[in-house]
């Protein structure tokens, strides 16, 4: 069983993937770690690397290949583009999309990155615009189109455990 977890930055994708992995006893692959690792490999910040990726599409293609190499067996693939990438390749998966209010997402990112939430909001919005352009131009994917997803969850007022409970319920109904 392949489960994808997508959504905008700060929506709770990674946290959900880790908790769901623990609950189901299957491995989780988190895209942020892959992308941050690629940025570190090049000695760049995440924001710098994102801007470079806009100019050098091979970065996204390399990322896609690293992520898709993990799409086998029982796995949770957490990435903004995991659902659409697997859909484009006709890979069967249970696709989850997690959203949250922008100010909540910025506060989460600020706490994680140890930065002011206002700065986190600005950087988050820049990142979203960058990713939306890249995904459209490279893959023909509208990242805001949620029609491919089996389940959409607003995590704004939910604990990670409540989000996981909703996913497990969705899996049972699928």
Q: Which structural domains are found in the chain, ordered by start? A: 2-173 (3.40.50.300)
User: What integer pLDDT is reported at residue 70 of this predicted model?
Assistant: 92
Strand partners, 27: 75
Mean pLDDT, 10 residues at a time, the chain of 174 residues: 95 95 97 91 89 88 92 95 93 97 93 90 88 87 93 97 97 89
| Spatial contact of 81 and 6, defined as CB atoms under 8 Å apart | yes
Would you state the pLDDT for residue 15? 94
**In whole angstroms, what is the distance from residue 80 CA to residue 62 CA?**
15
pLDDT at 133: 86
**pLDDT of res. 138:** 87
- pLDDT at residue 130, as a whole number: 82
């Amino acid at each position: 069983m392949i489960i994808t977890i997508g959504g905008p930055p700060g929506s709770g994708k990674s946290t959900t993937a880790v908790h769901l992995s623990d609950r189901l006893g299957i491995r989780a692959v988190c895209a942020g770690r892959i992308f941050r690792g690629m940025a570190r490999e090049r000695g760049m910040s995440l924001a710098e690397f994102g801007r470079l990726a806009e100019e050098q599409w091979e970065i996204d293609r390399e990322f896609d290949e690293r992520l898709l190499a993990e799409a086998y067996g029982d796995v949770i693939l957490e990435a903004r583009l995991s659902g659409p990438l697997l859909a484009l390749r006709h890979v069967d998966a249970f696709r989850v999309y997690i959203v949250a209010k922008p100010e909540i997402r910025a506060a989460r990112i600020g706490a994680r990155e140890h930065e002011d939430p206002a700065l986190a909001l600005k950087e988050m919005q820049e990142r979203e615009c960058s990713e939306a352009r890249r995904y459209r131009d490279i893959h023909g994917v509208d990242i805001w189109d949620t029609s491919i997803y089996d389940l959409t969850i607003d995590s704004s007022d939910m604990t990670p455990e409540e989000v996981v409970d909703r996913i497990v319920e969705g899996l049972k109904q699928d």
